[in-house]
Amino acid sequence: MDPIARAALRSTAALVGAGVAGVAYAGLVERTWFTLRRFAVPVLPVGAEPVRVLQVSDLHLTPGQSKKIEWVRSLAALRPDFVVNSGDNLAHVRAVPPLLRAMEPLMEFPGAFVLGSNDYYAPMPKNPARYLTRGYAAAPPSRGKLPVRELVAGLEAGGWSDLDNARTTVTMGAHRVELVGVNDPHVRFDRYDRVAGPARDDVALTMGLVHAPYQRVLDAMTADGAGLVLAGHTHGGQLAVPFYGALVTNCDLDTGRVKGVSRWWPGAGSTGRRGEVRPSPGRGPVPPSSGRRGEDRPSSGRRGEVRPSSEAPADAAWLHVSAGLGTSPYAPVRFACRPEATLLTLVAREP
């Protein structure tokens, strides 16, 4: 074999080897390399005491995922003031009992939830290219149903409020907080008209809850005065390009906001502008170790110090999108986008 052919063969072998290694890492390592993100968000009145909100999202649980279940259970050691479950809990018709086991210690704390499409419809194989088209949200007519009533009953029995097209006031720490939620916009179950109205002026904060962060819902919530909106659904892009980021969000949100904290205001989606999240070296308490390599326990990560972008209006709301903890069983990979839960410390605004 001549030298040029040998060089070409070696290059091809190296590329194939790198591809195989990447797939193995994404499917065997990163998708169960759970981490805890931390952010401090200035949304409370001046001088208010901090409140800690734990957000879990997109477990896509199937029976037998014991590592994920135990990791989620260990989050109770954080002792949050409030828990938000952002939907897409299920990926199997028998997943409700293990899901409730995962949530059981978290239901010792006050909480609320909204549903995602994968709490209603069972997963099925899809052409990945579909996520690059306008048909990404359509649920095929043949898609099987999941036991959503059993799921809702179990979460409500644990004391959590169902915020699907609902509005209520809860206590978080020392504060009264108004919650405004909608059912999943990804399958057009949202009915914001049922909960629309200006934010209350006798609460510390009005917070919006939604599974899929579609712009029509973000615009409506923030126009009514929500100071913070929590969402999931995007999986952080699930397959990200190192040093570039996510390619898709699986909704009409821009990829710059695919996960983490940013600013939002009505019409923000047409500007392409976003807030900044700058790392801070501070680290808070984490649950005790119960496993190896951070896979079976929350890792501390780095606390995010969120600072407003100079381009955002002064009264812009804050938006947090969780990259979530799971994947479809038909696409069990993550790359450059670790599965996560988030501990949000709500702090006072500057005078």
C-alpha to C-alpha distance for 177 and 90, rounded to whole angstroms: 28
pLDDT attached to residue 331: 86
Residue whose structure tokens are 């969000």: 249
Given a contact cutoff of 8 angstroms between Cβ atoms, the answer to whether 90 and 109 are in contact is: no
Cα–Cα distance measured from residue 332 to residue 68, given in angstroms and rounded to the nearest whole number: 13
Model pLDDT, residue 311:
79
52: nearest Cα among 350, 349, 342, 351:
342
pLDDT value for 14: 39
In one-letter notation, the amino acid at residue 147 is P
Topology classification of domain 33-348: Purple Acid Phosphatase; chain A, domain 2 (3.60.21)
In contact, 336 and 242? CB cutoff 8 Å: yes
Q: CA–CA separation, 45 vs 183, rounded Å?
A: 29
Q: Which pLDDT value is given to residue 271?
A: 60
Structure-token match 């952080």, residue found: 236
Closest by Cα among 70, 41, 95 to 229: 41
Instruction: Kindly give the confidence (pLDDT) of every residue in the chain, 351 residues in length, as a single tens digit, with 9 standing for 90 and above.
Output: 565 544 544 443 333 333 334 444 444 568 899 999 999 999 999 999 999 999 999 999 999 999 999 999 999 999 999 999 999 999 999 999 999 999 999 999 999 999 999 999 999 876 655 655 666 556 566 779 999 999 999 999 999 999 999 999 999 999 999 999 999 999 999 999 999 999 999 999 999 999 999 999 999 999 999 999 999 999 999 988 998 999 999 999 999 999 999 999 999 987 654 444 433 333 333 333 333 333 344 443 344 544 445 578 989 999 999 999 999 999 899 999 999 999 999 999 998
Give the Cα separation of 187 and 139 in Å (integer).
Answer: 7
User: Which CA distances in Å does 40 have to 174, 194, 228, 279?
Assistant: 17, 31, 12, 11
Give me the pLDDT at residue 128, please.
Answer: 58
Q: How many CA atoms lie within 13 A of 230 on its CB side?
A: 33
Q: Count CA within 13 A, CB hemisphere, residue 279.
A: 6
Round to whole Å and give the CA distance between 189 and 217: 12
Rounded Cα–Cα distance for residues 121 and 230 (Å): 22
Q: What is the pTM of this model?
A: 0.84
Q: Where along the chain do its domains lie?
A: 33-348
- Cβ burial 174-205 (10 Å sphere, 16+ → b, else e): ebebbbbbbbbbbbebbebeebeeebbeebbb
Q: What's the CA gap between 48 and 346, in Å, rounded?
A: 9
3-state DSSP assignment of residue 243: coil
Q: Are 16 and 323 in contact (CB under 8 A)?
A: no
* DSSP annotation of 136: T
Closest CA relative to residue 64, chosen from 107, 85, 31, 95:
95
Q: What sign for the dihedral angle of Cα 252, 254, 260, 266?
A: negative
CA nearest to 117, candidates 148, 154, 155: 148
